Structure 1
Amino acid sequence: MAAPLHEPRPAGPGRRLPDNQQGMRRRNLARVMHTVSAEGPLSRAAVASRIGLTRAAVSTLVDELIRSGLLDELGPERPGRVGRPGSALAVSSGGPVGIGAEIGVDHLAVCAVDLRGVIRARAVRHGTHRGRAPQPVLTELSGLIAQVVAEVEGEGLRPAGLAVAVPGLVARDGRTVVRAPNLGWHDVDLGSLLPSDLPVTADNEANFGSLAELWLGDDTPRDFLHVSAEIGIGGAVVVDGQLLRGARGFAGELGHVPVRPEGPVCACGGRGCLEQYAGEEAVLREAGLPPGRDRVEQLAERAAHGDPDVLRALSDAGTALGIALTGAVNLLDPQAVVLGGALAALAPWLLTSLEEELARRLAGPACTVTVSRLGSEGPLLGAAHSVVRAVLDDPAAVAGQN
């Protein structure tokens, strides 16, 4: 779960609350927000019963959240309930929004998501960024961010923060891109180069994709390995509902696991990495197709029509994925492997060879392999929703701004 994007603020013009009382209030505000977000619309009484507080205490918390524009009262609950109907509460559709951005090798994208999970604005720009200096790319991204922010502010919404998904390693400071091989970037401080009035965080695109799967997927387990593909292969590990980040924040780099140690040189400097056999460009090359826009759609269309070169390339990619995943599954024992990004669209022609390879190599029982319904939208949605989750985690920080 994303960390709150704002530091705790003083209690206001009156006396400062003791830390324990202040902390308890913040936690209870978050409990109310998460409960209404997950189960609403709910009455105050229903919220109180779910979180174990008195109705009076919950009513005080709810009134504060309504004044802050975080909750809406929808009117009396639906008829048919016993007793006097309460007023139904829902998270606000007109308050804070999370701004998510994605830097891809061949595209930029920005979206705004409100507290109900509805996309309120979106902007996309296509064009290759391989080998481009960071500043021009980030200047273009800033223009898209400004476009989306202007659109939501025109609707009376207020951005709560900005989260950026990048195809590379991001330091634990949440702003420095240590290395993005497919972009050619090293030690890029997004926080200083990306002009924004919003709090900015950054993370690996696969991490955001896995969080989107956890928060928005259909019955996603709390322990899974998420694998996605665009130009490269991304991986992320979720354990008990939390990202496994590793000592430096770089865990999950499945794309650079060698599947054939004497294979071709990879952009990371290694040889025979998974990306060289299952990344989009590798599959296109093996299928005899040129790179370009709509390449995944092109592969899927040709595979559906039985193109033997495409079918062979996708089957070989599935085998390579199975080899790389075997080590990860044997080591981590996840409940499932979830395929996202381009892999989701190409799954019908990848899964057979992938699952055969896993079944042949795994030391333990077979691991379930599922396909994400989010597809290539996962990283962008995960970034935007991470800001929304930060608001739910610490609504007092937002309340303190009003």
Structure 2
Amino acid sequence: MRFLHIADLHIGKRVNEFSMIEDQRYILDQILAVVEREKPDGILIAGDVYDKSQPSAEAVELLDEFLTELMSYRHPVFVISGNHDSPERLGFGSQIMQKDELYIAGVFNGHLWKVTLSDEYGPVNIYMLPFVKPASVRPFYDETIETYEQAVRAVIDDSNVDRNERNILIAHQFISAGGQKPEQSDSEVFSIGGLDNIDSAVFEDFDYVALGHLHGPQRIGRDTIRYAGSPLKYSFSEARHHKSVVMIGLAEKGNVQYDLIPLKPLRDLREIQGPIEELLCVGRKDAAFSQDYIHATLTDEDEIYDAIGQIRKVYPNLMALDFDNKRSRQASDEQDAFAREAAKKSTMELFADFYKLQNHVELSAEQITIMKDIFEKAGGER
């Protein structure tokens, strides 16, 4: 039995204020072509279907078009909500859609949703776990649950997973292996201090874990715990990613194969660096390259008149422009020095500096007393 694993579509996303809808429609058409060619027995969509909890009308329309086309191939489709989705909105109509084998786990209702398929080797159980936090799990289990790992472990332990059968889990969480953190990118959202971290050992009952949340395709601990990654690059920290979808093959128990099928975007997202004339020359020679989304870093030492305007004439999809020269490095060093000096000062000293900068006068003795009292009540000086 074969399954296509995709995740983190982020339909409706804007990158540096550029709408990605056209690029997303293009890449979703590629995914549909993969489905038509490979004919998987099921499609696993591991969360962050939308980019916002209140998606735009054009985002909703694009997902409707994609799912309608996907269902025309008559393969069951399994969808879970991610941290960017509104579980209630994504799950609307899910009970009606089940009759056409579109299974959407939007809101967590206290247990893992299981759908069982069969082939010549026996049953394959598909478990669907939408994105959960400790607070969403506590009402159904132990009120003392504090961490994401405790929450997910409680749900799995309560699910009576039969380890003698073949089991797939679809989840959207931050997973690590033995304390080793996976590759992350700037377009992902995480909890401060790693509170959302879950060890991959929690998933030992599953033959394959189809993960969403991280945008770089990668294995976690073992080959059969995988992030599919996002189908498009959504930040310049992903510029060197090779985007793909995962085709999984399950034969008898214990025999799991996978293959990464590459995706090619309508417009790539690139970082380029060099003198402005050199970059303009490259763009003029390669029309396709010049249409990509660009973060340009100019290394010229001389002042450049209307640098953004010049670059945009050749690279119309310029998203960001920086400079790397003596002046920019000096400014960076000065900012670092300022930050080091600020770190040495107390909260009161920093406020006094800010007050003088804004008002051009020093704080009075009475004002200092009042502010010290406020800082003390707020948690004390640092």
Q: TM-score, normalised by structure 1?
A: 0.25
More helix by share: 1
Tell which structure's C-alpha radius of gyration is larger: 2
Q: TM-score, normalised by structure 2?
A: 0.26
Instruction: For CA contacts below 8 A with separation 6 or more, give which structure has more relative contact order.
Output: 1
